[in-house]
Amino acid sequence: MHELGVVFHIMDSLEKVAEENEVTGISKVVLELGEVSTVIEDYLQNCWKWAARKRALFAEAELVVEKLPAVTWCDDCEKTYPTVAHGKICPYCGSPHTWLLQGNEFNIKEIEVY
């Protein structure tokens, strides 16, 4: 829902990184996006294209999004299961006492620079 704001945040952070590393341009930005994070990849790509045109450092930067699967842990039967397929209720024992182990990440993994 806040893809554009997020894109600005990423670009702000990377401008600092570029300055510290004497980078003249960025050709690729790789993000890790959890399956159940609140960010939608298609919107993110569109916002990226729009914002990249306005900032010289990103004019040629391709955005690559690597998806991380969402995994939930059940406190009662101590098993893990895929979050998207089963949601909050454990498919093995029916317990609602479950927690997201992984899947809401949103990280800048690496960038390709010149």
Partner 1 sequence: MKDVRILEIRQSVFADNDRQAEALRAELREKGVFLLNLMSSPGAGKTTTLMRTIEALGEAFRIGVMEADIDSDVDARTIAQSGAKVIQLHTGGMCHLDAAMTRQGLEGLETGDVELAILENVGNLVCPAEFDTGASRNAMILSVPEGDDKPLKYPLMFSVCDVVLINKIDVLPYFDFDLEKCREYIRMRNPDARVIPICAKTGEGIDAWADWLRAEIRSWRGSMQ
Which residues contribute to the site for partner 1 (CB under 8 A)? Answer: 1-2, 4-6, 9-10, 12-14, 16-17, 21, 23, 25, 27, 31, 38, 88, 96-97, 104-114
Q: Which residues contact 88 (CB under 8 A, 6 or more apart)?
A: 72, 96, 98
The least distance separating partner 1 from the CB of residue 112, rounded to whole angstroms, comes to: 5
- Compute the distance between CA of residue 73 and CA of residue 81 in angstroms, rounded to an integer: 7
Choose between 25 and 91: whose C-beta lies nearer to partner 1. 25
Whole-angstrom CA distances from 60 to 14, 28, 43, 52 are 14, 8, 19, 8
Whole-angstrom CA distances from 114 to 3, 18, 26, 105 are 26, 10, 6, 27
Choose between 28 and 53: whose C-beta lies nearer to partner 1. 28
- Asked if 25 and 52 touch (Cβ cutoff 8 Å), the reply is no
Choose between 62 and 80: whose C-beta lies nearer to partner 1. 62
The least distance separating partner 1 from the CB of residue 71, rounded to whole angstroms, comes to: 15
Choose between 5 and 69: whose C-beta lies nearer to partner 1. 5
The least distance separating partner 1 from the CB of residue 79, rounded to whole angstroms, comes to: 18
